[in-house]
Amino acid sequence: MNKEKAQKVLEAVLLKDYDQLRELNIIAFGNSGRQQMQTACITALDDVKGICNPRLSHNYCVVDDIGCPKCLKALIVLATA
């Protein structure tokens, strides 16, 4: 993900603009617990794949559930680099 896209994604997450996230082709992933806690990960964040990829057999989450602290931190780093 490049800086420009990271800025758009970050803004959309902060504003809870889920239509914008879908328009940006953002895909979230996480199990049902992450769905309930709204701590889903963002799949397009290549930098944190190793930390955040839980290798789920079922993906319960949609962009509305995004909120993984590690993914958000990575997004901020990308957006402000």
Which residues of this chain interact with Zn ion, rule CB under 5 A? 41, 52, 68, 70-71
The DSSP letter of residue 52 is H
Q: Cα separation of 61 and 80, whole Å?
A: 27
Name the residue nearer to Zn ion (CB basis): 8 or 39: 39
Name the residue nearer to Zn ion (CB basis): 5 or 70: 70
Q: Cα separation of 7 and 78, whole Å?
A: 8
Min separation Cβ 81 and Zn ion, Å? 18
Q: Residue 47 in contact with residue 18, Cβ under 8 Å? A: no
Give which of 69, 17, 12 is closest to 38, Cα–Cα.
69
Min separation Cβ 17 and Zn ion, Å? 19
Name the residue nearer to Zn ion (CB basis): 26 or 41: 41
Min separation Cβ 51 and Zn ion, Å? 7
